[in-house]
Amino acid sequence: MAASTSRPNVAIVGVTGAVGQEFLRVLEQRNFPIGHVKMLASARSAGKRIDFKGKSHTVEELTEKSFKDVDLALFSAGGSISKQYGPISSEAGATVVDNSSAFRMTPGIPLVVPEVNPEAVKGIKLGKGGIIANPNCSTIIMLVPVTPLHRAATVVRMVVSTYQAASGAGAAAMAELEQQTREVLDGRPATCKIFKQQYAFNLFSHNSAVQDNGYNEEELKMVRETHKIWGDERPKITAMCVRVPVMRAHAESINLTLAKKLTVEEAREILDKAPGVSIIDDRKNNRFPTPLDASGRDDIYVGRIREDISRNGSGQEGYGLDLFVSGDQLRKGAALNAVQIAELLL
């Protein structure tokens, strides 16, 4: 029998992966109420033992029958698994929060950042089915600080460049970056299995497929997902996504063209009050956000707040503002955002 939705039965799909493990940490740290938990993964992981909230749990193989009496299913096992099992889970009565790209742009499926558009989940109840999509990590990290500025002064155009950590490609990529670093320092050839080129002491364009227009899939996700989350396709957005040899937490350089002028002081005041945002903006000591600041933390860190001197507000130029941000891809960019969505449903 299903649990009360005040203490829902929870299934974690992809529990042995980097985000799956982060799900467990976030659920425990936030004291998310759980009636019963199911640890689900592929057949090769079935039988493993995982500790959670002081108890040892056995990982079960994901099957079509895994979702009996489940109220909430947190998915992070890749798009193909989500497409196959997400609808099955929903039909069984579980409310699905999916971390893959499988349903993000599907009409009728909410794409949610709780600090930005919590109203999108109105009417969805735990244990009554339904699918909610977690946005791309880079989109989340961008929109948490940019949205309050957009509400104050209207973003007309946004140019974003990302500096994406190994965590964005999963635990195997993080392990390979560590392995490559040791190999290169030892004067040995770098092992390149996850990526086609050396990652350690290097950087390269994001490894997602490049489309006919020259943009890769990661860049287009940031554009399309922002429009859906904001419910407005008028802001012009362009992105350049790059992999950098950082273990965990993404960074982004963001240039905004605004319809109204915001001074640095006004922007800082808005960001200081914004949920999920912390400011590190010490010009005197040249101290601004870094991935190390953001790693393991919930907030998005913001600095380098300054007016864009290439724009003066006349004609069609608009007013410009620059930001540099960093956020933990595994936490706010993935597991934390999904758990926050689930908290909206309690």
Domain ranges within the chain, ordered by starting residue: 10-133, 139-165+204-243+246-329
- Considering the candidates 57, 137, 206, 227, report the single residue annotated as catalytic: 137
Q: In whole angstroms, what is the distance from residue 222 CA to residue 236 CA?
A: 11
Give residue 170's pLDDT: 87
Average confidence (pLDDT) over 242-254: 97
CATH number of this structure's domain 139-165+204-243+246-329, picked from the four choices 3.20.20.370, 3.40.50.150, 3.10.105.10, 3.30.360.10: 3.30.360.10
Q: In whole angstroms, what is the distance from residue 94 CA to residue 48 CA?
A: 24
Sheet holding 10-13, edge to edge: 60-61, 37-41, 10-13, 72-75, 95-98, 131-133
pLDDT tens-digit series, residues 259-291: 999 999 999 999 999 999 999 999 999 999 999
The structure tokens listed for 234 are 């008028």
Q: Is 250 a residue of the active site?
A: yes
CB of 224 within 8 A of CB of 202? no
Question: Residue 98: beta bridge partners?
Answer: 75, 133
Q: Is 241 a residue of the active site?
A: no
- Considering the candidates 150, 206, 241, 250, report the single residue annotated as catalytic: 250
Give residue 2's pLDDT: 46
How would you class 231 by CB atoms within 10 Å of its CB: exposed for 0-12, middle for 13-18, buried for 19 or more? exposed
Q: In whole angstroms, what is the distance from residue 269 CA to residue 76 CA?
A: 36
Confidence of residue 1 (pLDDT cuts 50, 70, 90): very low
* Percentage of residues in the chain having pLDDT higher than 70: 97
* Residue 105 DSSP label: T
Confidence of residue 65 (pLDDT cuts 50, 70, 90): very high
Give residue 171's pLDDT: 87
Measured in degrees and rounded to the nearest 5, phi and psi for residue 199 equal -100, -40
CATH number of this structure's domain 10-133, picked from the four choices 1.10.510.10, 3.40.50.720, 2.130.10.10, 3.30.300.170: 3.40.50.720
CB of 60 within 8 A of CB of 40? yes
CB of 324 within 8 A of CB of 304? yes
Tell which residue, 83, 64, 168, 68, has the closest CA to residue 131.
83
The structure tokens listed for 106 are 């599907």
* Percentage of residues in the chain having pLDDT higher than 90: 95
pLDDT tens-digit series, residues 109-130: 999 999 999 999 999 999 999 9
Give residue 5's pLDDT: 60
Is the predicted pLDDT of residue 4 greater than 60, yes or no?
no
Average confidence (pLDDT) over 184-196: 96
